[in-house]
Amino acid sequence: MSTINETSKREKQDNWNGNIRERADGRWEARIMTEGIYKSFYGKTKADVKKKLRIYRDTRSNEAGDKKTPLQDYIANYLITYKLGIIKESTYDRYESTFLHHVYNTPLGRKPIGVVNDSDIIKHLKLKISPLSPDEMPLSRSSVKKILELLNMACKHAHMKGKIPNNPAVGVKLPGEDNFLVKTKKIECLDDGQMAQIKRVSELKRKNGKPFYRASYLIMILLNTGLRCGELLALTWDDIDFQNNLIYVSQGIMTNVNIRDAAGNILERTNKLASPKTNKAVRSIPINQQCCYYLNLLLEEKEKSSIDTDFVAYSEAGTRMTFRNLQRAFDLILIKAELPHYSLHILRHSFGSQLIRNGVDVTIVSKLMGHSNITITYNKYIHVLQSQQIRAIELANVI
């Protein structure tokens, strides 16, 4: 009996997509490896061998696959059995939402898992990109990516358990951005003038000397640290090292997550303190002078109001502030500053963009932002990097 690791290793070695090449004698060859065995198909044209390869794959799927269990039933059981209680509640909620809205009760979902092939999955994704019904909204690339991720994950497990001879999703490629009717939104960032306006409004005070907007100092801390909102809400004063000018990030608040029983039924919807989004999210962030200034103002207000709390982001009652109240405060500041509505996340993006515009190396930016890898940083701030490159070329125009 093979172990899970051995099964995983064999799956990586198998090339269910096959390799197609033109031979020296002019013939075309399609070569496929399944279960460690090579099989070749020959033809006069590339189209000939591609057809033979497709027929072979479909035949193999129909030979050994589970022809009784619908794909949707397998995924539902897989999520509850192997994911519930193992992954974060917010991640489980995302998988479940993707399943219920985009796989369950669809032609693909009703099809037996043992006869699902890559063509079925590709067709399903294409219908999500360009629906046939005018009542169905087309999806963005990120949404379709989540569907493919779920299908690949569940089918990989089914292959490991011997339910299907191969993973039909493993070779399916996500279409390029140009194929989507719904374009991925570009990351918005505040410009220097907008940040100055937010700062001006955030520092407004009432006649009694108290800030005009209670959460305004928190808004400025977000803008000067690039913290995720959940990370800021989780901070206690023990996480602030004024002596070494550091903020230690080790937790975050998950907003509106579903707490479930063992069967997957929702018991309550609540906010929850949890470990960070990724391992790289556990980090220390240097406190600049502006951030230190606003943190001290928060401490002063806490002492003046005689509020006994350990939370950096606290309410008048001393409890932890909620994401909703923080967003409401930001909305009021934006209105007063005569700026458009933005989500709080724009403060994080503005911080990252400002670092890159100031010449900070993207590797350092990635660490400060707590991204799981540098590729994420590049993708998020590619527009800033490109503008910096254009500026560098213009400066090099010396003749």
Q: Of 128, 156, 179, which one is at a domain's C-terminal end?
A: 179
Tokens coding 19: 């390799």
> Do 382 and 225 contact (CB within 8 A), yes or no?
no
* pLDDT score, position 14: 43
Q: What residues in the chain have per-residue pLDDT under 50?
A: 1-14
In a domain, 184, yes or no: no
301 and 351 part of one domain: yes
* pLDDT score, position 11: 36
Backbone angles phi, psi at 159, to 5 degrees: -65, -40
Cα distance between residue 105 and residue 26, in whole Å: 47
Burial class (CB in 10 A: 0-12, 13-18, 19+), 330: buried
Residue written as tokens 């020959």? Answer: 42
* pLDDT score, position 62: 54
* pLDDT score, position 399: 58
149 and 239 part of one domain: no
Cα distance between residue 363 and residue 359, in whole Å: 11
* pLDDT score, position 64: 60
Q: What is the DSSP string of 241-258?
A: ETTTTEEEE--EEEEEEE
Helices 141-160 and 89-102, axial angle in degrees (round to 10): 100
Cα distance between residue 229 and residue 26, in whole Å: 61
Cα distance between residue 12 and residue 8, in whole Å: 6
281 and 389 part of one domain: yes
235 and 159 part of one domain: no
Query: Which range of residues forms the domain containing residue 224?
Result: 192-393
**Residue 234 sits in a domain of what CATH number?**
1.10.443.10
* pLDDT score, position 13: 39
Strands 240-241 and 246-249: antiparallel
152 and 210 part of one domain: no
246 and 373 part of one domain: yes
In a domain, 187, yes or no: no
* pLDDT score, position 338: 96
In a domain, 185, yes or no: no
In a domain, 366, yes or no: yes
305 and 362 part of one domain: yes
> Do 103 and 75 contact (CB within 8 A), yes or no?
yes
Tokens coding 81: 């059995």
Domain tally for the chain? 3
* pLDDT score, position 329: 95
217 and 279 part of one domain: yes
Q: What is the DSSP string of 87-104?
A: S-HHHHHHHHHHHHHHTT
Q: Of 27, 46, 64, which one is at a domain's C-terminal end?
A: 64
In a domain, 142, yes or no: yes
* pLDDT score, position 283: 93
> Do 381 and 365 contact (CB within 8 A), yes or no?
yes
**Residue 116 sits in a domain of what CATH number?**
1.10.150.130
Q: Of 149, 179, 209, which one is at a domain's C-terminal end?
A: 179
258 and 328 part of one domain: yes
Return the DSSP state at 314: B
78 and 58 part of one domain: no
∠ CA 360-363-365, nearest 5°, is 55
Cα distance between residue 235 and residue 228, in whole Å: 11
In a domain, 398, yes or no: no
Helix runs in the chain, H state only: 4-13, 46-64, 71-82, 89-102, 107-110, 118-129, 141-160, 192-202, 216-225, 229-234, 289-304, 323-336, 345-357, 362-369, 374-380, 382-395
In a domain, 399, yes or no: no
* pLDDT score, position 392: 57
56 and 159 part of one domain: no
Classified as helix, coil or strand, 295 is helix
For 156-207, the three-class secondary structure string (H helix, E strand, C coil) is: HHHHHCCCCCCCCCCCCCCCCHHHCCCCCCCCCCCCHHHHHHHHHHHCCECC
175 and 196 part of one domain: no
The pTM (predicted TM-score) of the whole model is 0.74
Residue written as tokens 């500026």? Answer: 391
In a domain, 309, yes or no: yes
